[in-house]
Amino acid sequence: MSSAESPGRTADKSPRQQVDRLLVGLRWRRLEEPLGFIKVLQWLFAIFAFGSCGSYSGETGATVRCNNEAKDVSSIIVLFGYPFRLHRVQYEMPLCDDDSTSKTMHLMGDFSAPAEFFVTLGIFSFFYTMAALVLYLRFHNLYTENRRFPLVDFCVTVSFTFFWLVAAAAWGKGLTDVKGATRPSSLTAAMSVCHGEEAVCSAGATPSMGLANISVLFGFINFFLWAGNCWFVFKETPWHGQGQDQGQGPSQESAAEQGAVEKQ
């Protein structure tokens, strides 16, 4: 019985042992260095950025009161959210005619491009920083000995810096347009029933855009984090070492020449 149970026990323990070995091999002190600490911040704020933008949902509305006594006050509630394809959002506009009851209308605008680019960039940043943290903590010797890894890391960091600036600025402009398109006054202005004397339209409450505004703020925070990390990643590249060698070379030669002159 013991011989039959031993293979099962070893098979059960092997995954645990592998996990223990992986955790033991991690060098957590790397997180105290700027290169690792900023990566943790990039990982967190990437989650905050695409999470706050991708999970946003809001509502706008208005009320229509027909002058005809046969019809009551109609409330219009329009729900919208990510990815902000507002031209696909439908709502029913009440009609004050006796023949018809309502007409299907749509919001105006399609702002999915900047929103989806912002969320996609956040997801890619999340996965890259997670992979970079594994490389820093578990395979740091490979990172320092192989010159290609710091160069690739530096090029990717510069690219993400540029993309975060573009994404944050584009989504900020897109969010401004979303606010204008979902404003209750814009909703009443788009309804033909509100332009005549047969009905009285009142704008509803302004949509709460706090979570969307925070997502833009997180976008610019990500830009500053990636921009600041460019220097620390650049220090790990061979280019930084070559610059120091070139700067120290003339000084050593001049010191040797001065020593030779003093001997003469």
Buried residues in 177-208 as b, exposed as e (16+ CB within 10 A):
bbbebbebebbbebbebbeeeebebebbeebe
Nearest of 205, 207, 193 to residue 65 by alpha carbon: 193
pLDDT tens per residue, range 86-116: 999 999 888 887 666 788 999 999 999 999 9
C-alpha to C-alpha distances, 59 to 89, 182, 193, 261, nearest whole angstrom: 11, 8, 21, 83
pLDDT tens per residue, range 10-29: 444 566 665 455 555 566 67
Going by pLDDT thresholds of 50, 70 and 90, the confidence category of residue 148 is confident
pLDDT tens per residue, range 202-258: 888 889 999 999 999 999 999 999 999 999 888 888 776 664 554 454 444 444 444
DSSP annotation of 88 reads G
Q: Is the peptide bond before 83 cis (omega within 30 degrees of 0)?
A: yes
